[in-house]
A and B are shown apart, each in its own frame.
Chain A
Amino acid sequence: EVQLVESGGGLVKPGESLRLSCAASGFILNNAWMSWVRQAPGRGLEWVGRIKSKTDGGTPDYAAPVKGRFTISRDDSQNTLFLQMNSLKTEDTAVYYCTTYTSGYSRDWGQGTLVIVSS
Chain B
Amino acid sequence: QSALTQPPSASGSPGQSVTISCTGTSSDVGGYNYVSWYQQHPGKAPKLMISEVSKRPSGVPDRFSGSKSGNTASLTVSGLQAEDEADYYCSSYAGSNIVVFGGGTKLTVL
- Residue of A46, A105, A109 ringed by the most chain B CB atoms within 10 A: A105
* A-contacting 9-mer, from B14-22, B41-49, B68-76, B78-86: B41-49
**Which residue in B48, B96, B102 is a CB contact (below 8 Å) of A106?**
B48
**Contact A107-B98, Cβ < 8 Å, known A44-B103, A45-B38, A45-B89:** no
Q: B97 — nearest CB in chain A belongs to which residue?
A: A61
Q: Do A103 and B101 touch (CB < 8 A)?
A: no
Q: How distant is the Cα of A37 from the Cα of B102 in the complex, in angstroms? A: 13
Q: Do A63 and B3 touch (CB < 8 A)?
A: no
Chain A residues, CB < 8 A from B100:
47
How many A residues touch B, CB cutoff 8 Å? Answer: 22
Kindly state whether residue A110 has any CB partner on chain B within 8 Å: yes
Q: Which A residues between 31 and 79 are near B, CB-CB below 8 angstroms? A: 35, 37, 44-47, 50, 61, 63-64
Chain A residues, CB < 8 A from B1:
63-64
Q: How distant is the Cα of A106 from the Cα of B51 in the complex, in angstroms? A: 9
Chain B residues, CB < 8 A from A109:
45-48
Kindly state whether residue B36 has any CB partner on chain A within 8 Å: yes
Q: Could you show 6 A-B contacts with beta carbons less than 8 Å apart?
A: A45-B89, A47-B100, A47-B101, A103-B52, A105-B48, A107-B57
Query: Which residues of A pack against B, CB within 8 Å?
Result: 35, 37, 44-47, 50, 61, 63-64, 97, 102-112
Query: Which residues of B pack against A, CB within 8 Å?
Result: 1, 3, 32, 34, 36, 38, 40, 45-48, 51-52, 57, 89, 91-93, 96-104
